[in-house]
Amino acid sequence: MSLDIVILGVFVADTAYRASRQPKMGETILGKSFALGPGGKGSNQAVAAGMAGASVGMLTRLGRDPFADMALTTWSKAGVTSLASQHADSYTGAAYIFVDDSTGDNAIIVCPGVAASLGRDDIDAQQEAIENSKVFLTQFEQPLETAEYALMMAKQAGVTTILNPAPAAEMPASLLALCDYVTPNESETEAITGMSVETVEDATKAAEELIRRGASAAIVTLGENGCLFHDGTEAKHVPAMSAGPVLETTGAGDAFNGGFAAGLAQGMSPLEAIRFATATASISVTRQGTAPSMPARTEIEALLHKHPA
């Protein structure tokens, strides 16, 4: 079996609560709605890449429970191949998501469950799939040392490597050196570099620092301001695209990363893949639901047609 993309990450069942604000400690408030659905950064990225037309495999650990069934069903619908092992002695991950009803902004607590024990054995079991892929993508919801081991395996095989360093964590230079692309948002960039990112100029300086520390290229995502791409030679600001009113930002970064991986795997140049990723994320934030609703390739191409380079 040959896959365009292998994604190492976590699936969690999202429990999403919409309310006017978060409660204070010791306080109970009434929410406006509740929804249960599939999530987890790695899983979301795999779904985004699959919906965007790429052949993608999802490498993780699941329990043997209803949330695991939800994961397998979600991937199947998006055309994602499961590279997951299942374990009856622990649980499939879950997440609490607070969504501000007026802005769509969110705050999240993730419990990875059995995926927190992802290790080298899991990576070794899928060595053939990783080494035969075109693009390898991972994040930090599973152990950092497992992500580093998998990135090293992919890098040594000549596979294009992408690290989405989320949630934010301290990163050794050895890890950044394994990244063809590193894709932090503003807060993650600050956590890694110590540099505040509020403007495109800030993002340029921070991207230069990420490259100085070892990354081959950096993409600093800037929400409604698009993203800043630095390839080690020059910086390029790619603006956001309007696809309609923003209803919810949950999963926008995952949509971007999945779309970017899909674009690269399908032979696009880095800038073309970034525009493809930007369109993917721009559509995702216009949809409100239990989990990020990733757009199909035809929708992405239609938005790109409206926003020519």
How are strands ordered across the β-sheet holding 12-19? 33-39, 12-19, 92-100, 106-113
Count of CA atoms in the C-beta half-sphere (13 A) of 176: 22
Q: Is the per-residue pLDDT at 203 higher than 70?
A: yes
Residue 293's pLDDT is what? 81
Of the candidate ranges 91-95, 139-143, 190-194, 286-290, the one whose mean pLDDT is the lowest: 286-290
Q: Is the per-residue pLDDT at 291 higher than 70?
A: no
Q: Would you call 89 a catalytic residue per the annotation?
A: no
Instruction: Provide the pLDDT confidence category of residue 90 given band limits of 50, 70 and 90.
Output: very high
Q: Is the per-residue pLDDT at 290 higher than 60?
A: no
Q: How many CB atoms lie within 10 A of CB 92?
A: 29
Instruction: Provide the pLDDT confidence category of residue 288 given band limits of 50, 70 and 90.
Output: low
- What's the whole-number mean pLDDT along residues 202-208? 97
Q: Is the per-residue pLDDT at 75 higher than 70?
A: yes
Alpha-helical runs (H) found in 144-291: 144-156, 173-176, 186-193, 200-212, 252-265, 270-284
Residue 292's pLDDT is what? 57
Mean pLDDT of the chain: 94
Residue 153's pLDDT is what? 98
Alpha-helical runs (H) found in 24-159: 41-51, 66-78, 120-125, 127-131, 144-156
Q: Would you say 62 and 84 are in contact if contact means Cβ atoms under 8 Å apart?
A: yes
**Beta-sheet pairing, 56-59 with 80-82:** parallel
Q: Is the per-residue pLDDT at 1 higher than 80?
A: no
Instruction: Provide the pLDDT confidence category of residue 216 given band limits of 50, 70 and 90.
Output: very high
- What's the whole-number mean pLDDT along residues 63-68? 96
pLDDT digits (tens, 9 = 90+) for 107-134: 888 888 999 999 999 999 999 999 999 9
Is 112 or 51 the better-scoring residue by pLDDT?
A: 51
- What's the whole-number mean pLDDT along residues 267-274? 97
Is 135 or 167 the better-scoring residue by pLDDT?
A: 135
pLDDT digits (tens, 9 = 90+) for 5-42: 999 999 999 888 999 999 999 999 999 999 898 999 99
Q: State the DSSP code for 294.
A: P
Chain centroid to CA 144: how far? Answer: 15
